[in-house]
């Protein structure tokens, strides 16, 4: 997280501030997740579904178009398909 900000010319003090801020929010989120997670299995499933949707949004909206810009050809599509198949296999193993 810090390397792109530093390479972008951001002030090092500001970089440290943002890294600490993201660490604090991660800890607070983990704390509340622990509290909420002990309530019911349905809430855990809802939170995991929300997190999975957020990851799919980031991958399809940001990472895949960026990969298509960097690499021409079919490698990004093949990589996405292989990742999807590995995920399906992993779900069926457990």
Q: 45 with 65, same domain? A: yes
Q: 1 with 34, same domain? A: yes
Helix (H) or strand (E) holding 23: helix 12-37
The pLDDT value given to residue 20: 92
Quote the mean pLDDT of the chain.
86
Using a pLDDT cut of 70, give the percent of the chain over it.
99
Residues 6+ apart with CB under 8 A from 18: 1, 2, 5
CA gap 24, 20 in Å, rounded? 6
Give the pLDDT confidence of 10-46 residue by residue, as tens digits.
888 998 999 899 899 888 988 988 887 777 888 788 8
Residues spanned by the domain of 68: 41-94
**Would you tell me how many other CB atoms lie within 10 Å of the CB of residue 62?**
10
Q: 51 with 22, same domain? A: no
| 76-94 average pLDDT score | 88
């Amino acid at each position: 997280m810090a390397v792109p900000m530093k390479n972008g010319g951001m002030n090092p003090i500001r970089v440290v501030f943002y890294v600490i801020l993201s660490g604090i929010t991660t800890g607070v989120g983990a704390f509340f997740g622990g509290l909420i997670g002990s309530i019911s299995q349905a809430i855990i499933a809802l939170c995991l579904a929300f997190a999975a949707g957020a990851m799919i949004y980031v991958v399809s909206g940001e990472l895949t178009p960026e990969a298509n810009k960097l690499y021409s050809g079919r490698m990004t599509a093949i990589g996405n398909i292989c990742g999807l198949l590995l995920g399906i296999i992993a779900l069926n193993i457990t």
